[in-house]
């Protein structure tokens, strides 16, 4: 790790001004669970680190217009244990419980995880199927970015060099819908070998809509659009083997120490089938109303 200067802004506005001043020579840090390994291996070598961790007013989790607003400094553990999240968006709490260990979740933040843009990350696929968007701020103002448009490539996002992720906005759940996140990893808490987030909306005995996003099998999360189209309009008791095979074909995994591309496609096939089966069951759950 090369030497750097550690900057402590007073508030978000001050942080934006520091980032505008130092440009691509600076990086922001919150929990550091994703950034510190990258610094250690000299993947990046910034001259300045701008610390966001202590900034006031960015750790909230609250309901806004029926949806969920999450401050970028909210920790994974806060989302995992939030009664509000468990009740209204249980798939988010379930996803968080699979992310790293409890110490990692206690310190790491949702904003830092998303901005790291590791294709094996857990938050991206779930937020994509939920139709979430992000609020980015800078000295120039603010803008909103759909999560599905946020990931640009391996460890790359569409954030501009002077922008800071401030908030995650999750819309109100669709009626009669159910969502599931399924992750396959070597050990509990590890990065995924492959993962899938699935959301199914039903209308009686028919699948009205399906959203499927695969994780860890491409340079960014992969939206399985052909699989989604194949399920739309089908009966809820449809044989899911064909959809699972189609999702496996849409995956673009790479060979690495965790296995071959074909091995990972087989995992995608299995977990997609199971995730869809559970999502359909949740969508039918009359007790929860939304099943999410």
- Verify that 71 and 166 share a domain, yes or no: yes
- Verify that 155 and 201 share a domain, yes or no: no
- Verify that 72 and 149 share a domain, yes or no: yes
Of 170, 192, 213, which residue constitutes the final position of a domain? 170
Of 146, 170, 194, which residue constitutes the final position of a domain? 170
- Verify that 137 and 78 share a domain, yes or no: yes
What pLDDT is stored for residue 291 in this prediction?
Answer: 56
- Verify that 181 and 164 share a domain, yes or no: no
CATH number at residue 38: 3.30.43.10
Tens of pLDDT, residues 171-223: 998 899 999 999 999 988 888 999 999 999 999 999 999 999 999 999 999 99
Tens of pLDDT, residues 234-286: 999 999 999 999 999 999 999 998 899 999 999 999 999 999 999 999 999 84
Residue 289 inside a domain? The answer is no
Q: How confident is residue 38, by pLDDT bands cut at 50, 70 and 90?
A: confident
Phi, psi of 236 (to 5 degrees): -65, -20
pTM, two decimals, is 0.94
- Verify that 23 and 45 share a domain, yes or no: yes
Tens of pLDDT, residues 63-97: 999 999 999 999 999 999 999 999 999 999 999 99
Please give the tally of structural domains in the chain: 3
Residue 292 inside a domain? The answer is no
- Verify that 66 and 166 share a domain, yes or no: yes
- Verify that 118 and 82 share a domain, yes or no: yes
Tens of pLDDT, residues 107-160: 999 999 999 999 999 999 999 999 999 999 999 999 999 999 999 999 999 999
Residue 55 inside a domain? The answer is no
Of 130, 149, 170, which residue constitutes the final position of a domain? 170
Which residues span the domain enclosing 277?
177-283
Q: Residue 48 class from Cβ within 10 Å (0-12 exposed, 13-18 middle, 19+ buried)? A: middle
CATH number at residue 202: 3.30.390.50
What pLDDT is stored for residue 177 in this prediction?
Answer: 96
What pLDDT is stored for residue 290 in this prediction?
Answer: 47
């Amino acid at each position: 790790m090369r030497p750097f200067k550690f900057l402590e802004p007073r508030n978000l506005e001050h942080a934006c001004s520091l980032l505008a001043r130092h440009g691509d020579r600076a990086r922001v840090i919150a929990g550091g669970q994703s950034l510190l390994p990258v610094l250690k291996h000299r993947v990046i070598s910034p001259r300045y680190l701008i610390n966001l961790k202590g900034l006031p007013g960015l750790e909230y989790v609250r309901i806004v217009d029926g949806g969920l607003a999450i401050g970028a400094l909210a920790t994974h553990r806060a989302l995992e244990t939030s009664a509000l999240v468990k009740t209204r968006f249980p798939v988010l709490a379930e996803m968080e419980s699979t992310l790293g260990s409890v110490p990692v979740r206690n310190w790491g933040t949702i904003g830092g995880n998303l901005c790291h843009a590791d294709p094996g990350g857990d938050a991206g696929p779930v937020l994509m199927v939920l139709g979430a968007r992000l609020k980015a701020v800078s000295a120039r103002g603010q803008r909103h970015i759909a999560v599905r448009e946020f990931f640009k490539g391996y460890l790359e996002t569409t954030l501009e060099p002077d922008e800071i992720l401030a908030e995650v906005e999750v819309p109100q759940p669709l009626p009669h819908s159910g969502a599931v996140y399924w992750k396959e990893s070597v050990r509990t808490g590890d990065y995924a070998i492959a993962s899938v987030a699935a959301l199914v909306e039903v209308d009686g005995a028919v699948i009205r809509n399906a959203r499927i996003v695969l994780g860890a099998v491409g340079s960014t999360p992969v939206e399985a659009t052909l699989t989604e189209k194949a399920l739309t309009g089908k009966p809820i008791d449809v044989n899911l083997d064909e959809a699972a095979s189609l999702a496996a074909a849409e995956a673009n995994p790479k060979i690495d120490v965790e296995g071959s591309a074909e091995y990972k496609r087989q995992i995608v096939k299995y977990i997609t089938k199971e995730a869809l089966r559970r999502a359909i069951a949740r969508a039918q759950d009359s007790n929860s109303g939304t099943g999410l």
